[in-house]
Structures are given as C-alpha cells and as structure tokens.
Amino acid sequence: MRLVEKHTIKKRLALLLVLAVAASAQAVFATTWTNHHSDHGEALVCMDGLLVSGSKPRNQSPTIKITKFPENRVIHKSRDHYSLASRILPWVTLGFVRDIHASIDSSGYITAGTDRTVKAHKHPENTLAWSHSHHDDAVWEVSAGATIVASAGRDSRVVSVDRDTGDYIWSHTHHRRTGDPSKEMTRTVYIDEPAELVYSAGFDGIIIAASVEDGSVTWTYNHGETIKSVKSNENKVFFGVFSVDDPYDVYALDPGTNEIVWSHRFHNHAAAGYRGKHAGVEDLALHDSYVISAGDDGSVVGVARDTGDLAFRHTRHNSSVRAVTSCGDYVASIDRDGTVVFYKP
C-alpha cells in the first residue's frame, strides 16, 4: 500500500473516531428545553414520566408547569403561590414557587412558596387537596414522607403536618439562635423514611435530625458554614455548602461518629463570584449510586456515593442551577434562566 493511501486511511479513521466520540457525548443528553419558564426556574421533581417544575414568575407567566418528558409537551400550567408575602425579602415583588416534592406513591405533589404556604396538589386531577400556613415567613423547602410532610422556612422553623390532611403535628425552632431569620433561616429539609428522621439545615451551618413522630432532636452536627441542601441514605448524611470560605462543596458524613467520610470541590466558585461570599451548591439529589449537586457556577456534578469520586460533570446551563432531581434513567436540572436539561449519566 502506498504511503499516501496509508496516510489518507489514518486521517479518515481519526475523523470517524472524533465523530463517534462527539456523537456519544451528545447522546447522554436527552434534550435541553430553553426558556421552559419565562423567568427564574426554582424547583422541579419527576413522577410517573412527568416533570413538575416551579418558577419565579414574570408578569402573567405560570409558576407551575407539568410536562411530559423528554419531549417537552406541557399538559398543565397554573399560577400558584403568586402573591407578595415575605417580610424580609425586599427583592421579591411577586410570590413564587420555591420547592416541589412528589408524594411517595405519586398520588400528588407538594409545593412550597414565598407566600408562607405549603400546598398539596392531587395528581392527575391537579386540584388542591389541602393548604397550610403554619410558617411566619417564606417557605423555602418541602419534603414528603409516608405519613408526614415537612417544610423549612425563613422563620427558622421546621413544620410537620399530616400528609393526607395537612393537619398540624409538630414544629421546632432549633435553628433559631438569635431570632434573626435573615441570618439563621432553615434552608433545607429532608425526610429519611427508613430512619424515621427529618433532617434540616440552614444558614446557621447546623444539621439537625428530628424524630418523624414528634420532632424531638436525636442528633446534631455543626459544620459552621451555610448549608443549602441535605440528603441521607444508607448511614450517610450528604450536605451541600454555600460559602466560598469553605474548602469543599459537598460532604458525606457518618452520623454515628460525626466523622467526614469524603468531601469534594468540583464546582467553580470563581464562576459564581457575583454572589461574593455566598456561592456554592444550591441543591442535591440522590440518583442510583451517585450524589448529584447543582452549582451556582452553572454545572451539575455527579460523584460516587461511597467514595466521592467524580463520575460525571456537565456545564449545559448558562446560569446558576437552582434544582436537580432524579428522573428514571436521567438527571434533570433547572436554572435561573428557566432552562431544563436532561442528562443520562
């Protein structure tokens, strides 16, 4: 074979290899929905092949959308939590949906909003089952278990209500140290059903585990920096930190010994420097054997639950990623521009 022919064949093989790698890289993304919401995307959850997403509205735009994924076919949209409410959020000119959580049996979804309310919506009717306003300020996150719904708010409270009726069960204010919720708001809440615990954390940097039954505190851990998300699974507590002063983004903690199992810093704080001291992880999700983190730098990072080793990272978002969730084979995330990205690890 002549030298020129060999050179040509090598070039063609190299080109085919590059195209194959590019095609493989693109194949992991089911789709990207741009401007899925007309303004800030804030929350999303998957259930029964549907994506329920919430946003901060612009003008008359909907705050809740239910979409068939991955084809982006909207089957329901509405305006909810749409009123001025928070007494210490002067930048909020209209209320908005801050968090969404699906019920365990997918019979509905729970929303939390800056109008100080938590609402349960029936699925597939999309009608209101119940609503409560036991918080004194904006409700920032909600979690649904088998028997209760727990919520966390800027009033530094964790509130538990009956999952089916919305009736009040208990609340605690153990995150309140000075009485100033602007500094010590309870930012995140998560129900660990097998452990029968309600985890919460916030601006005070303290993680609290409370009994599902009565809210009594069973365990605490003081990290010292702002925590925006906490999850737990198989004797590990995972939490995401929102501070440029912290050397790491995400931690795995053994609650039996209060020892750090692993930690990582795969998000780029410099890219989110517009927030000054506060930049980092906005949300966490558990997906298969991964812990997924949504970053203020526009990236989504997946690490192995056991070791914290990097498994994947993508930067398909152009703004702060506000929420991330597991969607069957895919991971879905939403950013401040309202863009939704589906990614297959």
pLDDT of residue 172: 95
Alpha-carbon distance 140 to 42, whole Å?
10
Cis, bond preceding 345 (omega within 30 deg of 0):
no
Alpha-carbon distance 303 to 114, whole Å?
32
> Residues 173-199: what's their mean pLDDT?
86
Summarised one tens digit per residue, pLDDT across range 274-295 is: 445 557 999 999 999 999 999 9
Alpha-carbon distance 205 to 230, whole Å?
11
Is pLDDT at 43 greater than 60 in this prediction?
Answer: yes
pLDDT of residue 159: 97
Is pLDDT at 71 greater than 60 in this prediction?
Answer: yes
> Residues 80-88: what's their mean pLDDT?
61
pLDDT of residue 175: 87
pLDDT of residue 181: 62
Residue 17 confidence class, pLDDT cut points 50, 70, 90? very low
Alpha-carbon distance 113 to 318, whole Å?
25
| Contact between 336 and 320 (Cβ < 8 Å) | yes
Separation in Å, CA 275 to CA 151, 248, 271, 293, 297: 26, 17, 10, 18, 11
Other CB atoms within 10 A of residue 48 CB: 10
Is pLDDT at 269 greater than 90 in this prediction?
Answer: no
Give me the CATH topology for the region 31-343: Methylamine Dehydrogenase; Chain H (2.130.10)
> Residues 66-90: what's their mean pLDDT?
75
Over pLDDT 70: what percentage of the chain?
82
Closest by CA to 192, choosing from 238, 154, 161, 244, is: 238
Is pLDDT at 62 greater than 70 in this prediction?
Answer: yes
CB environment 109-143: b (16+ within 10 A), e (fewer): bbbbbbbbbbbbbebeebeebbebebbebbbbbbb
Looking up tokens 């970053």 gives 295
Compute the mean pLDDT over every residue in the chain, rounded to the nearest whole number. Answer: 84
Specify the range with the lowest mean pLDDT, choosing from 31-35, 103-107, 116-120, 145-149.
Answer: 103-107
Alpha-carbon distance 330 to 283, whole Å?
16
